[in-house]
Amino acid sequence: MNKKFAVPSILVLLSLFVFVSGPASAQCKLGVPAIKVGVQGAASGPHADYGRQIEMGATMAAEEINAAGGVLGCKVEIRFLDDENRPATGVKNARLLVTDWGAHFTVGTDSSGVAMAMGPVLAELKRIHFFTHAATHRLTEDLVAGKGIKEIVRVSVPIYQDAITAALIFKDRMDIKRWANIGADYEYGYVAWNMFKETLRKYRPDVEFVGEAWAPFLTLDFSPHISAVMAQKPDAIFATPWAGEAVMLLRQALIQGVFDNVQVWWQAMGGSVDVLEGISAEVAKDRFKGKLWATARYIHNWPDTADNRAFIERYRKRWARFPNYSAETTYSAFFIMKAAVEKARSMETDKVVAAMGGMQIRNPGGVREFRSVDQQFIYNVPAGRPVMDTRYPIPVLGDLKVFEAKDYYRYPPFTPVSVTK
């Protein structure tokens, strides 16, 4: 090569190199190429829509954060894994995401069973996991407030929503004296029923709990369960199977004439988008006769704020679906992470947790407030009855009962709730 051109051409090459590779990492003030966020949820089987919604919420949050310049100039990168709703898979995924892929944070998890298995592992992996669906109270009350596992942060409302709101709504229904349970046969189902009974008993010592039946995951035929509890002539049913199983449970209850014989059916997480889509035809024909009640961990038609409306518009444009609660909670978890990291200017667990202290953050689902003692974000979600509304193509919860979070969250000192059948 001609020496006259050698130096300039090397300089040009170097500058090209700097231009191409330089700015992205040079701008990231955390000294990493990107903030890696591992995401997991149930993405196959009857509960698969939750995992998909978690993935959609995470993807959209990462896209929006990156489009607005990232977190302290760092791009957010996500990787989604299916936990198949199995504890062993959830634990394996957590290890893989952190140790193999190098995740700085992890987000998601649908089932309480998976969450409780992951809890102690997170402490060992030293990475914060933002739980966005798993509901058992023990995750935050026992593992965080009790055992001090700082790596657990919960963005979604726990089982207080499923159990305590139900008790508050129906305590005034003097016509309902006999409650029966068709429960999900694992921790979530046990705790929901026990917490409901405990709360309702305080207000209504006259109420009887007359029957229970338990259905494990992948129950295809609920008719023995329905028929067993109906044999006790209950006034109301408390039901916790969720997602596709909730849809089929309700359909099997309809053809067994349950809605002719009970006053109320509480389908705890029946306000979930996949369930509302699944029971659309039945709601349109009023087959539940106004007796079906449900809640969720976020419903898209509440709160009626500009933030929420804009979120739904963007979400529908991006995915052609309504956001389920696992989408909103996951989406919000990313913005909570962003706010905390920006304040801490670090991704270390202790600093991020400290930065969340006293945090109040406006999310599509409303203002969430961080409670340090159990690292639970506090916000409220109403309950109501699935109805058709001309503004929406699928049923929404209507006739909303709104309770302030302070009226139905549990507060320390946390008293134990039985976690067995």
Catalog residues that contact other proteins under the rule CB under 8 A: 43-46, 48-49, 51-52, 82, 84, 185, 211-214, 216, 218, 220-221, 223-225, 227-228, 230-231, 243-245, 247-248, 251-252, 255-257, 260-261, 274, 278, 281, 421
Nearest-angstrom CA–CA distance, 120 and 248: 34
CB closer to other proteins, 147 vs 421: 421
The nearest distance, CB 10 to other proteins, in angstroms, is 50
The nearest distance, CB 306 to other proteins, in angstroms, is 31
In sequence order, the β-bridge partners of residue 153 are 130
The nearest distance, CB 103 to other proteins, in angstroms, is 22
CB closer to other proteins, 29 vs 291: 291
The nearest distance, CB 418 to other proteins, in angstroms, is 13
Nearest-angstrom CA–CA distance, 62 and 414: 35
**Cβ–Cβ under 8 Å, residues 293 and 267:** yes
Nearest-angstrom CA–CA distance, 314 and 337: 21
The nearest distance, CB 47 to other proteins, in angstroms, is 8
CB closer to other proteins, 321 vs 343: 321
Nearest-angstrom CA–CA distance, 361 and 339: 9
CB neighbour list of residue 91: distance below 8 Å, 6 or more residues apart: 117, 118, 121
The nearest distance, CB 274 to other proteins, in angstroms, is 8
Q: What one-letter code names the amino acid at 389?
A: D
Closest by Cα among 159, 158, 398, 213 to 293: 398
CB closer to other proteins, 51 vs 158: 51
CB closer to other proteins, 214 vs 334: 214
Lookup: tokens for 144:
């965080």
**Cβ–Cβ under 8 Å, residues 195 and 137:** yes
CB neighbour list of residue 79: distance below 8 Å, 6 or more residues apart: 36, 37, 38, 39, 97, 101, 103
Nearest-angstrom CA–CA distance, 386 and 399: 9
Buried b (16+ CB within 10 A) or exposed e, 213-236: bbbebebeebeebbeebbeeebbb
Helix (H) or strand (E) holding 238: strand 236-239
CB closer to other proteins, 10 vs 231: 231
Residues shown for the chain: 421
Lookup: tokens for 67:
């489009």
The nearest distance, CB 91 to other proteins, in angstroms, is 19
The nearest distance, CB 226 to other proteins, in angstroms, is 8
CB closer to other proteins, 160 vs 214: 214
In DSSP notation, 114-127 reads HHHHHHHHHHHHT-
Query: What are the backbone angles phi and psi of residue 235, rounded to the nearest 5°?
Result: -85, -25
The nearest distance, CB 96 to other proteins, in angstroms, is 19
What CA–CA distances, in Å, run from 43 to 84, 85, 108, 246, 253?
A: 6, 8, 11, 17, 26
The nearest distance, CB 234 to other proteins, in angstroms, is 13
CB closer to other proteins, 182 vs 341: 182
**Look-up: residue for tokens 């898209």?**
300
CB closer to other proteins, 47 vs 129: 47
CB closer to other proteins, 256 vs 263: 256
In the chain, the N- to C-terminal Cα span, in Å, equals 82
